[in-house]
Chains A and B, each alone.
Chain A
Amino acid sequence: MDSEKLEFLQSKALDVRKLTVEMIGRLGVGHIGGALSIVDLLTVLYYDVANVDAKNPCNPDRDRIVMSKGHAGPALYSVLADKGYFPLDEIKTLNQPGTNLPSHCDMNKTVGIDMTAGSLGQGLSCAIGMALAAKIDKKDYKVFCILGDGESQEGQVWEALMYAGNACLDNLVIFVDNNGMQIDGMTKDINSIEPLDAKGQAFNLHTQRINGHDIEQIEKAIYQALNTKNKCSLIVLDTIKGYGADFVSCKGYGCHSMAISEEQWRAYCGKEKD
């Protein structure tokens, strides 16, 4: 990746983080930790790799992005707003009555959302369905699915991983946002899903494990996945919950959902006034 592109993506990631903090900050509380841990991936997908277009959000040939960890909706809304899927001002409506931006992703409310999620563990199966539809129609769109590590304790995730591996879905790339934390504590202390890379390989998935906050590594891993034929790909992203905002990440697993004061978000976003 050339330095200009890297600089652009890093700057976009920062913009998205700020928007996400502002969105949740204006509301006062929300799922900030797991939203921030996935921002670098979303930035690479939406501003670099994925074939998506805000002007044609229902294009049947577009790449699909399934946010299975639906509570990270605000991070995705920030990207979509920044890209012009809907007016930027709409981020102020998060979870307000009648909003198009609910806590958890809803494909029937928000332009640009490819699948509804919120009840954890369901998105990967849906992503597989989309990948199979592409195969039936002989279309070359790709499907990207983002799972949480805590979410991966759900049994359906393993049903889906097994099928994705056996069906050799090379048009599907699965990400696990491996931030190591869940509501009640550290994932390793509650019910560890490690070793994720060994499990991925055992499920016949082309498995990579990278730093989930390194833009260059993310891009490289995605292209490697897309160039791997006859195998579905798993990319384990080692991440930090709340990454990029110290007042969030310092709370540890407590940042899954936390209160954010006006002072905090305005300081982080560098926005003294509206």
Chain B
Amino acid sequence: MQDNFEMREVYCQSLIDEAKTNQDIVVVEADLMNCIKTGPFKKAYPDRFFNVGIAEANMVGISAGLATCGKIPFCSSFGTFATRRCYDQVFISVAYSRQNVKIVGTDPGICAEINGGTHMPLEDMGIMRGIPHMLCVEPTDSAMLKALMPQIIAYKGATYIRLQRKKAETVFSENESFDLFKAKTVSKGKDATIIASGIMVSKAVEASQKLKELGYDVGVLNTFTWKPIDEQAIVEAAKSTGAIVVAENHNIRNGLYSSVAEVIVGKCPVPMESVAVMDEFGEVGKMPYLSQKFHLTVDDIVEKTLKAIKRK
């Protein structure tokens, strides 16, 4: 089942709602206002909205300058252009300078669909989490996004938000509460834990149901904040289930699997398997095709979970 609202609608409405009482919120766009749908913010607060045209480096630098004067800029583009296109600007003008800029990268991984390989960020979280102190978060669905936005605004520091633009598969109910720095347990299990993020969470839930039919009790943990990652939740999952599968819409290199492995290897080594893009470039296609092509399906999660359990 899909959410009632698109993620971008919830994103923009949250900004508008918060901006009523928070005069510091500003939005900076690089010609994707009509894709990210921040037009309503511009309409509500025309003096706090800037569109710099197709110039992501300038967008990020301007945001950093605004932040030095106490503003809280939200700047956005497709994930590829919000990160690797302007990586040094994010690194130096924002992060190294300790500026409170929120960078939003949309269309994560295969969600870029028919925009294809040039627009398919499969490395964005990897390169952003490589920047010291950068908060990296991938909200799962509209309920979570709505709950996290006030926390993201209140957090003082450079932040990368990996955002699906369209309707997400519903995982959480509207009244669910979330802590930006705590992973969310979707379900507990005994035989293994699937640690998932983004579009892979609903697939992990489906996989756990299939595994139940096969006689396995598998939990799902949603580590929506990749950095700083909730080490305690990961260690608890490893200790209680003894096997971990990481499911991510991202390159295996430097992604969520790497983030989780950094914890598991040091604190509680257990068998680990990965469902991720195996060091490939993206390509054009719709989600069902791309899920098959890059082995990001429910069946892939089931297969890898069985493999992890076998290795225990």
Contact = CB atoms under 8 A, between A and B. Distances in A.
A180 B47 CA distance: 39
Given A156-B58, A159-B55, A128 B93 contact: no
Contact of A129 (B53, B57, B68): B68
A245 interface: no
Interface string B93-133: 10011100000000000000000000000000000000000
A166 to B, nearest CB: 8
Interface in B31-90: 47-48, 50, 52-53, 55, 57-58, 60-71, 73, 88-89
A107 interface: yes
* Prevailing SS type, chain A contact patch: helix
Contacts of B73: 129
Interface residues of B, number: 30
A23 B98 CA distance: 27
Given A107-B97, A116-B93, A163-B62, A125 B68 contact: no
A130 interface: yes
Interface residues of A, number: 33
B61 A160 contact: yes
Given A119-B88, A136-B26, A127 B69 contact: no
Contact of B97 (A116, A127, A162): A116
Given A115-B97, A122-B89, A129-B67, A136 B48 contact: yes
A130 B68 contact: yes
B265 interface: no
A155 B57 contact: yes
Interface in A89-147: 107-108, 114-119, 122-137
Contact of B66 (A122, A124, A129, A156): A129
A195 interface: no
B55 to A, nearest CB: 4
Given A125-B57, A163-B53, A60 B62 contact: no
Interface of A: 60, 64, 66, 107-108, 114-119, 122-137, 155-156, 159-160, 162-163
Interface of B: 26, 47-48, 50, 52-53, 55, 57-58, 60-71, 73, 88-89, 91-93, 96-98
